[in-house]
C-alpha cells in the first residue's frame, strides 16, 4: 500500500476534498479522503507538495497513427480553400491515406509513439486510437496491428477502433463488401478493435451504408460509434440514436431538434473543439447538449488534417471557451464521460476500486487545468499508481 499525501484538493467523482490523500494498492485506489481521516498503514508515502490532483484524462477520440503531413493543406486553407473542397478533389484525408497505407507497421509505430507521449504528458492515461487511413483490408489491418504494437510499448492504455473512414473513389461497392465480409470479421476475430466507427458525411458514407457497418460490427460483438454532423446533416445522428451507438462524435452541424434527440438518449455526445479551432467551423453545441440532458465528452481528435492537437487539457480549455462548458463540466467531459464514450467503467474518477490513474497539477487549484493556455498545467501523471 502506498499513500500519496499533501494534496491541496482532490477532485473525486462528485466532490472536491481539501487536504486529501490517496492510498494505492496493486494499481487500484484503495482509499481516498481527507488526509486527517487516514488510519491505515502504508508501506511507502509520497508527498505531492500541496498540489491539486484530478483523475487522469481519457482521450476518447484520436487518429494518432498516420504518415506524412498536411502542411500544404494547412497553407492552402489559410488562403481560403475549404477542407471539404480539398477532400473532394482527392486530397486531404485521401493524401494521408496514400502516405499511411504505404508504411510498415514498424514505421507507423515509430511515428505514433511520440504523439501518444505528448497526450500522456497532457494528463491522459487512456487513449482511443483509430485506424482509417488504410483504404484496403490489408492496410487497415496493418494500422490496427500498429496500434496493438504501440499499446505494448507505451504505458498508457490504448483502446483500438476500426474506422471506416471514406470510400475509395472507384470501387465503393466492392470496398463495402470487403469491409463487411473480411475487414470487420478479421479485426474482431483477432481482437484488433473494440469498436467500429463510421464517418457519415457527404464526402464519406451515407446513413444506409453506415447501418450495414453497424450491423456487421454488432454481429461480431464490437461496439459502434459514428463521426457525424461535422459539416452536413445526412442522417447520421438519427441513425446513431436509433441504433443506440456508444458515442456520436463531432456534432458541429447539429440542429436544435437534433440536440434534443441526442439529449434524450443514452449515447455519449463527443465534441472535438480542436476541429473548430483548426478548421474554423462552428463549435458543437456543448452547452445546449448538456442542458438537453446529454452526456458530453471531449476528445482531442488528434489527426493531421482537422485537429493537430496534442493536449487533452487544451482540448478541455477550448471546450470551456468554444462550446460553453463550465470548468467542472469540462473536467467531467475529459474523465468520467470520456470513459463512458469508450464503454469503460474502471477509470475516470478517483474512488476505491478504480484504476489509480491520476494527474498531479502544477497548481493547488484544480481549475487551472482548463484555465492556463500554452503551458502544461499537468506536472505528473500516474498510471496504475506509477509515475510515467
Ligand atoms: O475526425 N472527419 C473525419 N475524420 C477526421 C479528420 C481526418 C483528417 O482530416 O485526416 C476528423 O475530423
Ligand atoms: Fe475524428
User: Are residue 226 and residue 359 in the same domain, yes or no?
Assistant: no
Ligand located closest to 236 CA: 1
Whole-number Å distance between alpha carbons of 251 and 93:
19
295 and 375 housed in the same domain? no
The predicted model scores a pTM of 0.98
CATH number at residue 376: 2.30.40.10
CATH number at residue 298: 3.20.20.140
- Asked whether residue 236 falls in the same domain as residue 300, the answer is yes
CA angle 323, 327, 331 (to 5 degrees): 95
pLDDT at site 170: 86
Domain of 126, in residue numbers = 57-341
100 lines ligand 1 (CB under 6 A): no
Q: Is 10 in the pocket of ligand 1 (CB under 6 A)?
A: no
Q: What is the DSSP string of 86-107?
A: HHHTT-THHHHHHHHHTS-HHH
Q: Both 109 and 214 in a single domain?
A: yes
43, 137: one domain: no
Q: Where are the alpha helices (DSSP H) in 179-297?
A: 184-189, 207-219, 236-242, 256-263, 273-279, 286-291
Output the CA 309–ligand 2 centroid distance in Å: 12
The domain tally of the chain equals 2
Question: CB-based contacts of 276: which residues, under 8 Å, 6+ apart?
Answer: 252, 282, 283, 284, 318, 322, 323
Task: Render each residue's pLDDT in the chain as its tens digit; 388 residues.
Answer: 999 999 999 998 778 999 999 999 999 999 999 999 999 999 999 999 999 999 999 999 999 999 999 999 999 999 999 999 999 998 999 999 999 999 999 999 999 999 999 999 999 999 999 999 998 999 999 999 999 999 999 999 999 999 999 999 889 999 999 999 999 999 999 999 999 999 999 999 999 999 999 999 999 999 999 999 999 999 999 999 999 999 999 999 999 999 999 999 999 999 999 999 999 999 999 999 999 999 999 999 999 999 999 999 999 999 999 999 999 999 999 999 999 999 999 999 999 999 999 999 999 999 999 999 999 999 999 999 999 9
Q: How far is the CA of 215 from the centre of ligand 1 (A)?
A: 23
205 lines ligand 1 (CB under 6 A): no
Q: Angle 137-153/93-101 helices, nearest 10 degrees?
A: 80
Distance from Cα 47 to the centre of ligand 2, integer Å: 39
Ligand 1 center to 28 CA (angstroms): 35
**Protein residue closest via CA to atom 8 of ligand 1:** 305
Amino acid at each position: 500500500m502506498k499513500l500519496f499525501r499533501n494534496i491541496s484538493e482532490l477532485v473525486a467523482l462528485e466532490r472536491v476534498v481539501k487536504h486529501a490523500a490517496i492510498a494505492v494498492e496493486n494499481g487500484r485506489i484503495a482509499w481516498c479522503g481527507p488526509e486527517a481521516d487516514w488510519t491505515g498503514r502504508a508501506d511507502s508515502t509520497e508527498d505531492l507538495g500541496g498540489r491539486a490532483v484530478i483523475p487522469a484524462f481519457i482521450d476518447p477520440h484520436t487518429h494518432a497513427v498516420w504518415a506524412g503531413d498536411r502542411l500544404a493543406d494547412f497553407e492552402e486553407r489559410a488562403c481560403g480553400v475549404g477542407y471539404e473542397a480539398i477532400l473532394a478533389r482527392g486530397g486531404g484525408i485521401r493524401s494521408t491515406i496514400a502516405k499511411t497505407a504505404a508504411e510498415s507497421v514498424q514505421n507507423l509505430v515509430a511515428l505514433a509513439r511520440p504523439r501518444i507521449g505528448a497526450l500522456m504528458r497532457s494528463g491522459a492515461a487512456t487513449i482511443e486510437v483509430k485506424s482509417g487511413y488504410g483504404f484496403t483490408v490489408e492496410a487497415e489491418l496493418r494500422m490496427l496491428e500498429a496500434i496493438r504494437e504501440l499499446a505494448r510499448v507505451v504505458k498508457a492504455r490504448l483502446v483500438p477502433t476500426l474506422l471506416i473512414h471514406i470510400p475509395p473513389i472507384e470501387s465503393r461497392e466492392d470496398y463495402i463488401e470487403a469491409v463487411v465480409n473480411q475487414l470487420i470479421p478479421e479485426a474482431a476475430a483477432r481482437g484488433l478493435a473494440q469498436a467500429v466507427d463510421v464517418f457519415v458525411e457527404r464526402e464519406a458514407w451515407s446513413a444506409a451504408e453506415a447501418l450495414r457497418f453497424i450491423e456487421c460490427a454488432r454481429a461480431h460483438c464490437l461496439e459502434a460509434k459514428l463521426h457525424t454532423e461535422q459539416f452536413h446533416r445526412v442522417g447520421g445522428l438519427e441513425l446513431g440514436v436509433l441504433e443506440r451507438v456508444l458515442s456520436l462524435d463531432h456534432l458541429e452541424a447539429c440542429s436544435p431538434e437534433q440536440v434534443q434527440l441526442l439529449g434524450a438518449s443514452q449515447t455519449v455526445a463527443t465534441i472535438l473543439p480542436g476541429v473548430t479551432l483548426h478548421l474554423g467551423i462552428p463549435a458543437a453545441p456543448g452547452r445546449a447538449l448538456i442542458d438537453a440532458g446529454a452526456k458530453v465528452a471531449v476528445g482531442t481528435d488528434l489527426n493531421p488534417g482537422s485537429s493537430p492537437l496534442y493536449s487533452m487539457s487544451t482540448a478541455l480549455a477550448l471546450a470551456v471557451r468554444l462550446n460553453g462548458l463550465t470548468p467542472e463540466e469540462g473536467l467531467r467531459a475529459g474523465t468520467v464521460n470520456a470513459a463512458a464514450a469508450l464503454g469503460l467503467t474502471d477509470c475516470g474518477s478517483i474512488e476505491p476500486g478504480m484504476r489509480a490513474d491520476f494527474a498531479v497539477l502544477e497548481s493547488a487549484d484544480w481549475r487551472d487545468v482548463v484555465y492556463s493556455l500554452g503551458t502544461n498545467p499537468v506536472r505528473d501523471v500516474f498510471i496504475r499508481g506509477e509515475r510515467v
